[in-house]
């Protein structure tokens, strides 16, 4: 749990983001801000624009309209250098990991440090080992993605993102592609991160993460944030919010995996 007081200048602030794909508006003017140490959780039905929002936030998808600022500085979305810098500050965890298939766990981490941060090979390896140990994979450094389980892959992906010292971590359904018995190990890593005060915006259907970790819940539907508030507000039984209905359905599916 994280109880950081909201600071005056958010680390990451997006205003009025809009995005269309082939004429269909996926994001309709979404604004979201993250203060240092805050954890916000995106929920809502599939196709509601959660992934697109996250990808817009570090410009993997360029928004059609709107602005993004990092620590108060507006990012020039048309300047590539600016984008590369933004992405170094804003880490991203994907549903399907996206580890580099031709590199072992260690080199998946060192390559970004060496190529992007221009750190020497030996220093990069030292740092990478440290991050791997943090996620409990110090003994898997030499293994390639094809030799790792889904949960291990996701933990390597998290270690890789953290090695870049990001100010914010965006997580796009980090446990959705995992077998049920592997979800726990990834959740444990995310909880540890939360405990250390990492600023995070996470899309998830994992009920135990939603109620326990969120400082704020954003319910997104049809490209708009329709509800926003603290879990205690949105998830109190019988308050009639969309969020509580959604979470109740998730709990039924998860079969008592947690309570909303």
Instruction: Note the residues at the interface with another protein (CB under 8 A).
Output: 58, 60, 80, 84-85, 87-88, 91-92, 94, 96-102, 111-112, 115-116, 143-147, 157, 160-161, 164
Cα dist from 45 to 25, 93, 205, 224, whole Å: 16, 20, 9, 12
- CB distance 35 to 10 below 8 Å: yes
Listed in sequence order, the residues at least 6 apart from 3 whose beta carbon sits closer than 8 Å to its beta carbon are none
Taking the complex as a whole, the smallest distance from the CB of residue 100 to another protein amounts, in Å, to 6
Taking the complex as a whole, the smallest distance from the CB of residue 229 to another protein amounts, in Å, to 29
Q: Between 68 and 112, name the residue whose CB sits nearer to another protein.
A: 112
- CB distance 109 to 128 below 8 Å: yes
Q: Between 171 and 260, name the residue whose CB sits nearer to another protein.
A: 171
Tokens of 182: 């592997």
Task: Outline where 25-79 has alpha helix (H).
Answer: 50-57
Q: Between 20 and 88, name the residue whose CB sits nearer to another protein.
A: 88
Q: Distance between CA atoms of 106 and 89, rounded to whole angstroms?
A: 21
Taking the complex as a whole, the smallest distance from the CB of residue 215 to another protein amounts, in Å, to 24
Q: Between 63 and 231, name the residue whose CB sits nearer to another protein.
A: 63
Q: Between 115 and 196, name the residue whose CB sits nearer to another protein.
A: 115
Taking the complex as a whole, the smallest distance from the CB of residue 91 to another protein amounts, in Å, to 7
Strands 168-172 and 199-203: parallel
Taking the complex as a whole, the smallest distance from the CB of residue 219 to another protein amounts, in Å, to 25
Q: Between 120 and 147, name the residue whose CB sits nearer to another protein.
A: 147
Written in H, E and C, the secondary structure of 134-145 is: HCCCHHHCCCCH
Q: Distance between CA atoms of 151 and 97, rounded to whole angstroms?
A: 9
Q: How far is CA 253 from the centre of its chain?
A: 23
Taking the complex as a whole, the smallest distance from the CB of residue 134 to another protein amounts, in Å, to 18
């Amino acid at each position: 749990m994280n109880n950081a007081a909201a600071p005056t200048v958010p680390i990451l602030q997006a205003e009025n983001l809009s995005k269309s794909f082939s004429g269909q508006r996926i994001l309709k003017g979404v604004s979201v801000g993250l203060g240092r140490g805050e954890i916000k959780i995106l929920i809502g039905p599939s196709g509601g624009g959660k992934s697109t929002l996250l990808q817009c936030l570090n410009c993997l998808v360029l928004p059609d309209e709107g602005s993004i600022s990092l620590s108060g500085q507006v990012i020039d979305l048309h300047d590539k250098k600016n984008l590369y810098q933004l992405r170094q500050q804003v880490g991203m965890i994907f549903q399907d990991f996206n580890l580099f298939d031709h590199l072992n766990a260690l080199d998946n981490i060192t390559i970004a440090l060496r190529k992007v941060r221009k750190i020497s090979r030996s220093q990069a390896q030292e740092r990478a080992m440290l991050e791997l140990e943090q996620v409990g994979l110090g003994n898997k450094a030499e293994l390639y993605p094809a030799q790792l389980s889904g949960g291990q892959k996701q933990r390597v992906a998290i270690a890789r993102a953290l090695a870049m010292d990001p100010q914010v971590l965006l997580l796009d359904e980090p446990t959705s592609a995992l077998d049920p018995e592997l979800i726990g190990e990834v959740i444990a890593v995310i909880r540890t991160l939360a405990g250390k005060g990492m600023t995070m915006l996470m899309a998830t259907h994992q009920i135990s993460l939603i109620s326990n970790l969120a400082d704020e819940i954003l319910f997104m539907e049809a490209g708009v944030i329709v509800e926003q508030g603290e879990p205690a507000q949105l998830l109190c039984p019988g308050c009639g919010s969309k969020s509580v209905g959604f979470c109740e359905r998730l709990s039924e599916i998860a079969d008592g995996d947690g309570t909303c």
